[in-house]
Chains A and B, each alone.
Chain A
Amino acid sequence: QKEVEQNSGPLSVPEGAIASLNCTYSDRVSQSFFWYRQYSGKSPELIMSIYSNGDKEDGRFTAQLNKASQYVSLLIRDSQPSDSATYLCAGYGGATNKLIFGTGTLLAVQP
């Protein structure tokens, strides 16, 4: 099993809908997780961090961490075409406790 796994997508949602992005992680990854948004040709931008079990909300974004099931998700409410990007999940882990990224999920919000 990869340390951090994401479905590559694309995930297509209509404008105004809720986009749900998921990420699973192995035992080798710690409990601190991060969501980055990366537009095509740009660098990743940190949008959410979550350290404890449960939900964390910031504007239209909600991050959810479920330690028992080893998954972390990102919900985007009222999706906009400007949310179309690749979303990267990351967590600290491995033998040297470095930040490990998933391969990213491409989100396409259809107008």
Chain B
Amino acid sequence: KAGVTQTPRYLIKTRGQQVTLSCSPISGHRSVSWYQQTPGQGLQFLFEYFSETQRNKGNFPGRFSGRQFSNSRSEMNVSTLELGDSALYLCASSTHNEQYFGPGTRLTVT
């Protein structure tokens, strides 16, 4: 079975721009979660989608948003990028409790 895929893998953006990241879950998985990972803060939960509905949300500002499509693929969007948004963004898909991560998108904001 194919794993979780994320695109793009690397991205460089300028402050003030916006970015959209994409995640395709493992076939059959209906839940997709997004995390931000930085050296200082570790893995921080952004949000979770299940059957196109946001089921859970972390403590991030409204600049961070997401959605899920009927085929379970998910996107997250960050608007008005700040330098502090530079991080590895990870998507995880799950069925029941176990979450499986994709390779991540490395975002650098300059």
Contact surface of A with B, Cβ cutoff 8 Å: 32, 34, 36, 42-46, 49, 51, 88, 92, 96-104
Contact = CB atoms under 8 A, between A and B. Distances in A.
B48 A98 contact: yes
A46 B90 CA distance: 14
Interface of B: 33, 42-43, 45, 48, 56-58, 88, 90, 97-104
Contacts, number: 42
A43 B101 contact: yes
Summarize A's interface: helix, strand, loop or mixed.
Answer: strand
30 contacts: A32-B97, A34-B99, A42-B103, A43-B90, A43-B102, A43-B104, A44-B90, A44-B101, A45-B101, A46-B98, A46-B99, A46-B101, A49-B97, A49-B98, A51-B97, A88-B43, A92-B97, A96-B56, A96-B57, A98-B48, A98-B56, A98-B58, A99-B33, A99-B45, A99-B99, A100-B45, A101-B42, A101-B43, A102-B42, A103-B42
